[in-house]
């Protein structure tokens, strides 16, 4: 099953400036085209809109409200990172608004942070998945152990994210095959830093993954995601209207992501693709090389939500160069 994250991961590509009009139009398209699941929200999920990370043009509440108005058969999903989203402020309103699937995410070595959120949602009878971000930055065994924790909390599926766009197909095969031993649905979320998102998604399916994250035209953080239109044609499905997907591609108004040198470097150093705009901005602000900045950032284990550290590192690097 394809989960369409155009209205969530795509938010990264345009500094979280998705408009109400586009959200409404895309939800109508998704429903009409027979897409099973779409996800909406700030690029970093519910509760993430802020000056440091990036402010959304449209609030979480309004995004969900607009989506639910136009989705009948298509399920609505949200992305949640504990620490950015809270139960009272973010999750409870999302439940009341009719969100169907809650994907609770953590760094691939910090699954214990998802325990409270997953257990709460299961107690409420909601469909909840565990998501392990930055999954290329730990061993297969560690990934399996962390996924096992999420399953023990009540996660009904596990998604691994190639947040850094670093995987090759054999890496994906090894990890998905290991995770299928958990005997719950396993999913894969690819990024296109090395133009391998489609190949990696195919490897995931052939290794037993049943959930594949996609976005229209690959619209997403950094070099973008696995394109919906390609996967829809590679894997025939009577539920998806492939011609409607192609027609919508032709009218898609946002820039299509491309792999740039900075994306190759973030892949090499296993950095979150959503850092790209902040790295460029910080390098320009402090008049330093983004290559040097990436090398310094790579010495720390930063993950989504820690964008403010990029500017601190850039300022420190500038001071060291001028002293």
φ and ψ at 257, to 5 degrees?
Answer: -60, 145
Task: Give the integer Cα–Cα distance in Å for 101 and 85.
Answer: 15
Q: Which residue do the tokens 């958990």 mark?
A: 182
Summary count for the chain: helices (H), strands (E): 14, 8
Q: At what angle do helices 261-268 and 276-286 cross, to 10 degrees?
A: 110
> What is the phi-psi region of residue 208: left when phi exceeds 0, alpha when psi lies from -120 to 50, beta otherwise?
left
Task: Give the integer Cα–Cα distance in Å for 99 and 127.
Answer: 9
Looking at the DSSP bridge assignments, the partners of residue 158 are: 130, 186
Q: DSSP assignment of 97-156, as one string?
A: TT--EEEEEEETT-GGGGHHHHHHHHHTT-EEEEEEESGGGS-HHHHHHHHHHHHHHT-S
Q: Which residue do the tokens 């990036």 mark?
A: 54
Q: DSSP assignment of 101-115, as one string?
A: EEEEEEETT-GGGGH
CA dihedral 56, 62, 155, 178 (to 10 degrees): -50
- Could you say which DSSP state residue 255 is in? P
Q: 45 and 11 in contact (C-beta within 8 Å)?
A: no
Specify whether 16 is catalytic.
no
- Helix (H/G/I), strand (E/B), else coil: 200: helix
Query: Where are the extended beta strands (E) located within 134-238?
Result: 158-161, 186-189, 211-214
CA dihedral 178, 81, 216, 136 (to 10 degrees): -40
Of 3, 12, 16, 79, which is the active-site residue? 12
Residues involved in catalysis: 12
């Amino acid at each position: 099953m394809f989960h369409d994250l155009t209205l969530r991961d795509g938010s990264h590509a345009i500094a979280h400036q998705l408009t109400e009009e586009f959200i409404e139009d895309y939800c109508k398209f998704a429903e009409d085209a027979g897409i099973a699941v779409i996800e909406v929200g700030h690029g970093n999920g519910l509760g993430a809109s802020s000056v440091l990370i990036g402010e959304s043009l449209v609030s979480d509440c309004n995004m969900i409200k607009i989506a639910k108005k136009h989705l009948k058969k298509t399920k609505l999903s949200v992305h949640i990172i504990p620490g950015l989203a809270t139960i009272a402020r973010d999750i409870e309103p999302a439940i009341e608004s009719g969100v169907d699937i809650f994907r609770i995410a953590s760094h691939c070595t910090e699954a214990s942070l998802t325990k409270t959120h997953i257990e709460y949602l299961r107690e409420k009878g909601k469909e909840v998945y565990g998501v392990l971000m930055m999954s290329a930055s730990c061993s297969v065994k560690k990934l399996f152990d962390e996924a096992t924790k999420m399953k023990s909390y009540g996660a009904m599926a596990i998604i691994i994210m190639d947040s850094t766009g670093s995987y090759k197909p054999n890496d994906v095969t090894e990890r998905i095959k290991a995770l299928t031993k958990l005997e719950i649905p396993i999913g894969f979320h690819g990024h296109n830093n090395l133009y391998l998102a489609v190949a990696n998604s195919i490897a995931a399916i052939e290794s037993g993954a049943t959930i594949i994250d996609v976005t229209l035209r690959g619209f997403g953080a950094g070099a973008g995601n696995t394109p919906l239109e390609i996967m829809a044609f590679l894997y025939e499905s009577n539920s998806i209207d492939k011609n409607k997907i192609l027609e919508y591609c032709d009218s898609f108004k946002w820039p299509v992501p491309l792999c740039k040198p900075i994306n190759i470097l973030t892949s090499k150093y296993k950095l979150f693709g959503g850092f790209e705009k902040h790295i460029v901005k910080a390098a320009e602000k402090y008049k330093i090389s983004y290559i040097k900045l990436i090398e310094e950032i790579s010495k720390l284990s930063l993950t989504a939500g820690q964008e403010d550290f990029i500017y601190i590192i850039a300022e420190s690097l500038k001071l060291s160069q001028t002293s």
